[in-house]
Chain A
Amino acid sequence: MVNDGHSLSFAFGTDGMSRRVLLQRGAALGLGASALSGVLGSRAVSAQDEPVELTIWLNGEPGTVNAVTEILDEYMQEHPNVTITTTFVGSSLFNPTLVPALNAGEGPDVWMGGSGPGQPAAIIEAGHALDLTPYFCELGWGEIIPEGIVNYTSSDGKLWAVGDAVETTVMFYNKDIFAENGLEVPATWSELMTACDTLAQAGFAIPIGLGGSDKYPISWWQSMLWGRYAGPEGIDNVMFGDGRWDEEPFVQATAKLKELNDAGCFGPNPLAEIQNDIEARFWRSEIPMVHVGPWIIEPGIQALGEEISKFSVFQVPPPVDGTPIYPTEDIGTGWYINAKYEHPDVAADLLNFMFFRDESRQKLLESGSSVPVGELNLEGLELPTLVEEIFALSNQDRDNGTIHAFLDTVTPARMTDVTYDGLQALLAGQMSPEDFTAAVQASWEEAKAANEQLQPGGVTCG
């Protein structure tokens, strides 16, 4: 399989033709799911007779209850002999905790983790992750997981993780605030800048929320703008070819980010803002816009209920008039099975239940927090309006190709380090776009010399 860089396909729409296709695929998925459990069932029969313990590590705050934990409970109800123990670990401590645990033989049986280069690759090389290729090939996972996702969760012809979701980033905005200030959804970059100015004059200190203190939210903007200027092929040319991060498109894209900041769109001091606080203030209508992903919808619904209808989304307009919009997409996380786990078939059955069973996929989708990979059957689903709007936005420009939502997850750690510091320096006026891209390129070259960059993936069956 070839990674064409923009083959993350969750193609669904609202027109009749698409719904028929989806129904057909949904039926196939349903049949497929039965077949999957049938095949796995024969392997897992002996496991079903004996008690099985399975530990899972999840990224998040202890005590979290969400669609994933509900699906795990459902699995235990259907498989009373399986006891799943879930441990939530905070994001910044997840990797530092996982590695010693795996090395000591005390690691989880299943964990969710990154899928890019760096630590995920090292964990795989150390033999901690189970080769999932047999399940992929025999159970038809390739029918559901898009090729692009497979490419990012595989290497050396083997699948190492199940990609659970596709994430994107769009601009969330407050319709009421826009209406009160006579603003329409900006269709051009200059309209976006005008909107910033109008909102600032209306008393909104922060027209577009940005948690610059956390660094990674700035990289969402960087990823989107770099992709918009270079296009999917341009990004791939650097990732897998002989392109360079300090070429003109990336410099111009960086300059555009700086332009937004210098115009005050991110407020007087974005580096003092925390992303969680920004998102909370957005839902409280204190901040009119925020560029973020659909994972904020679930907490928004929990906080606002029906009031969430006063929010909507739009794609950031083309930074250069007339250029195409490329929807951003990246894999959410990969789910790994511990190579030393005694009941791999049970673990694979669990992943199957979570991500390839129609009901589970629908539950994840309806929660608003996750968009499962692959084709989705929307028939009868009650999706949050914001989720439907995000789907519609992505579909409308999908034919242009897609770009990375989070370049920091698919580039080496040392480059991420330089990128984060550089983006803060850029917003602080301490670094020019040229210097920033040059620093990123230098770190990229160091990483390539150390063979740390992402290698093209793909799975070989049979």
Chain B
Amino acid sequence: MAVQQYSQGIAGVPAGRLRIRRYVLQRYLVAYLFILPVLLLYLVFVLRPTLQTFWLAFYEWNGISIDREWVGLANFHRLFGDPIFWQALQHSLIWTAVVVTFNLVVGLIAAALLAGSIRGRLLFQLGYFLPVVQASIVTAMIWLWIYAPTGVLNTGLDTFGLEFLARGWLGDFTAVLPALAIASSWMTFGLSVVILLAGLQGIDPTLYDAARVDGAGQGRMFLDITIPSLRNTITIVILLALVDAFKVFDIIWATTEGGPIRATEVLSTYLFKEGFQKNQYGYGSAIAVALSLIILVGSVLNLTIRERGDD
């Protein structure tokens, strides 16, 4: 009876559609089983803390006591009127601009050079990628020494007669932010090189052959073939660099802790200070929410621009 009912359909659902659903379920079951552990980890260690942070932003809490006071939108209201928040946001935007530009421009140049037939290409690739796998705190220490008043950079400038450029890099209000942004870019651009190189190697070489036949030079080929072909790859590079730049913390904290006089204060260092040092977890969470929304907007914009380009 049940079999007969099944073959005839159940509750008005045609038997054919049931077979399709069963087929789909069976086909993707294994895939879901593979995804499930990671999904669970994501839910527990990423999504849940994220949602808790959003929720905490509506409270005033010192991070220690059992009692938390509901304050509604007060933390966000405070955020909008907080000059340090806007200053940190400005710095975050400048930082992101430097990091994304460095990753894209220098990364593309390096990838283009590596795409050609050069000796020791693997060595160069390794060299570019090594900072990516290095602990960020190690990178911070290295650049601390480089930028020290008697460090490698100033010594090198003196040696080459450019002592007028030498300065206390980490104590110079105008130079410190770009200086650290470049240090951070050095740490991440190796990944961009690898991604762009893969993209370059995926471009159909016959396009270049055809362009040469038509008399196109290197510059023309780069602009009309390479760049358009790399559009999706460039989007990924920009997206990764953008998210990484907005989240920066280690290298700034290890070198200047947001100083001097907040010249390198970015959103992540500010939320760390407010939340963990001043025990204002609610306000720190509000800053974190703002940072998350900014990253989300930036990412969506990036993808939207790419998609419009496709159209």
Contacts and interface: CB of A to CB of B under 8 A. Distances in A.
A462 interface: no
Contact of A430 (B65, B171, B257, B261): B261
Given A96-B276, A213-B259, A430-B261, A269 B253 contact: no
Given A92-B257, A425-B261, A428-B261, A414 B278 contact: yes
A130 interface: no
A271 B259 CA distance: 9
B117 interface: no
A277 to B, nearest CB: 7
B168 A269 contact: yes
A264 to B, nearest CB: 14
B27 to A, nearest CB: 42
Nearest to B176: A272
Given A103-B64, A425-B261, A430-B261, A122 B171 contact: no
Contacts of B72: none
Contacts of A68: none
B169 interface: yes
A122 B279 contact: yes
A126 B260 CA distance: 34
B167 to A, nearest CB: 7
Contacts of A125: 64-65
Contact of B168 (A128, A271, A424): A271
Q: Is the interface of B mostly helix, strand, loop or mixed?
A: loop
A272 B149 contact: yes
Interface string A248-290: 0000000000000000000111111110010000000000000
A213 B151 CA distance: 15
B55 to A, nearest CB: 16
Interface in B170-186: 170-173
B156 interface: no
A421 B257 CA distance: 11
A443 to B, nearest CB: 11
A100 B64 CA distance: 8
Contacts of B167: 269, 272
B127 interface: no
A117 to B, nearest CB: 11
Given A122-B279, A271-B171, A215 B148 contact: no
Q: Is the interface of A mostly helix, strand, loop or mixed?
A: helix
Contact of A421 (B148, B262, B272): B262
Contact of A96 (B257, B261, B277): B277
Contact of B260 (A100, A103, A271, A277): A271
Contact of B261 (A100, A123, A413, A424): A424
A95 B163 CA distance: 42
B170 A123 contact: no
A126 B259 contact: no
Interface residues of A, number: 36
A118 B273 CA distance: 13
B157 to A, nearest CB: 15
A303 to B, nearest CB: 18
B2 interface: no
A213 B260 contact: yes
A387 to B, nearest CB: 30
A413 B277 CA distance: 7
Contacts of A420: 259
Nearest to A100: B63
B268 interface: no
Nearest to B253: A92
Interface string A92-104: 1001100110110
Interface string B57-97: 00000111110000000000000000000000000000000
Contact of A272 (B64, B66, B168, B261): B168
Interface in A384-431: 413-414, 417, 420-421, 424-425, 428, 430
A417 B273 CA distance: 9
A424 B62 CA distance: 28
A59 B64 CA distance: 20
B269 to A, nearest CB: 11
Given A99-B63, A430-B261, A277 B273 contact: no
26 contacts: A92-B253, A95-B277, A96-B277, A99-B276, A100-B63, A118-B278, A122-B62, A122-B64, A126-B65, A128-B64, A213-B170, A269-B149, A270-B171, A271-B170, A272-B147, A273-B149, A273-B168, A274-B148, A413-B277, A413-B278, A413-B279, A417-B277, A421-B259, A424-B259, A424-B260, A425-B261
Given A268-B149, A271-B171, 4 more contacts: A125-B65, A269-B149, A271-B170, A272-B149
